[in-house]
Amino acid sequence: MNIRVWIHGEGRSGTSWLQKIFDHQPDVFSLFEPEARLPGKPAPAPRGVPYTPEDLRDYAERIFASRDLRAVKKRPILRKAYRSALGHGLRTGLIYGEFALEHVLRKTWRANICLSVPDMVQYPPSHRVVKCVACPYPFNEMVSANQDIRFLCIIRHPCATVHSTARGVGLGKMSKPYLPQRYLLDQFFSFDGGAYDISEEEFTIQELMAYRWAVYNGLVKKAADAHGNIRILRYEDLCNDPIGTMKDVFDWVDLPWHRNCEEFISDALLADGDAKDYHSFKRNPLVAAEKWKTEMPAEDQALVKSIARQSPAAHLFPDLA
């Protein structure tokens, strides 16, 4: 069995938590955002450069074949059934060694390097799971061209996504967001003069993120309406019943449930509140899911909802109807 699972979602929508739940299953080979430093031919320009379904399949192949250090160094580094104890120890040491080397080279010589880490597997894992938050091609076309891949798309309430992102920008943990690609923005919104005549400077962070949510999740909804190899998962449903929801998701990808996954989730449920560290998994998911309702100004909520309501994904949330 060689099943490939592609986790997709906007930033701050729970993709990292979802990926780590999968990673705790000993039969899963998991990659964290391999698209960030993907080698090979460049992505297409927003317009004027044609591409084919073969290009989209090639991109997916390269995503799943990536062994970039960044894609495998996300802690904790877990022992796997398809890797021996010796292989696990050697590979873990190599990851930490390469990470230290990369840090020194970047700091000393400002070298932009991409180190790779060998798999060191004894036999092929049953599932390969990648978590990607960026795709240079329209996502609905990526799903259509790769019918053998199971796409799991997590969508969080737009106000929650915007509030968390704005907080990250304020803390210096994230860079300021930018508008979606103009040719995609044109598919969902009408601007005076067209989308190509507007710029990021005209919008607040809240507006920029709301447009991103509407466009990229709109593409997800279009793909889900047209194809059976994609499943939409609401972040709020995952937070309300993480174990039950993930057992159902594992069934969908033909992956046996494992006690390691349940223990990882249960550990998060024991947390008193939201995480102190912005990127930590140690947070009570129910608290994290509802924070925006009390912390986000009412006028910002109204602004975000007014933009998000124009997306095909809006019907997933009753208060956007």
What's the pLDDT tens digit per position in 27-52?
999 999 998 777 655 555 555 567 89
Q: Over 80: is that where the pLDDT of 140 sits?
A: yes
Q: How far apart are CA 219 and CA 313, in angstroms?
A: 8
Please, what are the domains in the chain? 3-30+128-320 (3.40.50.300)
pLDDT in tens, 198-226: 999 999 999 999 999 999 999 999 999 99
What is the average per-residue pLDDT within 83-94?
Answer: 97
Q: What is the pLDDT of residue 305?
A: 98
154-174: pLDDT as tens digits: 999 999 999 999 999 988 888
Average pLDDT over residues 173-177: 86
Given a cut of 60, is residue 109 above it in pLDDT?
Answer: yes
Q: What is the CA radius of gyration of the chain?
A: 20
CB neighbour list of residue 263: distance below 8 Å, 6 or more residues apart: 24
**Cα–Cα–Cα angle for 114, 116, 121, rounded to 5 degrees:** 165
pLDDT band at 274 (very low <50, low <70, confident <90, very high): low
Tell me: pLDDT of 113 over 90: no
What DSSP letter does each residue of 158-195 carry, written as one string?
Answer: HHHHHHHHHHHHHTTSSPPP-PPPHHHHHHH---TT-G
C-alpha span between 113 and 61 (Å, rounded) = 22
Alpha-carbon span 288 to 275, nearest angstrom: 8
Name the nearest CA neighbour of 230 among 158, 289, 313, 309: 313
Give the contacts of 320 (CB within 8 A, at least 6 positions apart). Answer: 158, 305, 308, 309, 314
Q: If you average pLDDT over residues 86-105, what whole number do you get?
A: 93
Helix (H, G, I), strand (E, B) or coil at 100: helix
User: 114 pLDDT band (50/70/90 cuts)?
Assistant: confident
Q: Is residue 260 pLDDT above 60, yes or no?
A: yes
Write out pLDDT tens, residues 184-196: 899 999 998 889 8
CA distance linking residue 239 with residue 282, whole number of Å: 13
d(CA 148, CA 22): 19
Phi-psi bin for 113: left (phi > 0), alpha (psi -120 to 50), beta? beta
Average pLDDT, the chain: 90
Q: Could you give the CA distance from residue 156 to residue 162 in angstroms, rounded to a whole number?
A: 10
User: What mean pLDDT is predicted for residues 101-118?
Assistant: 81
- Provide the pLDDT for residue 267: 86
3-state secondary structure of 108: helix
Residue 166 amino acid letter = A
Q: Which residue has the higher pLDDT, 287 or 54?
A: 54
Model confidence at 278, pLDDT cuts 50, 70, 90, reads: very low
Pairing of strands 230-234, 127-132: unpaired
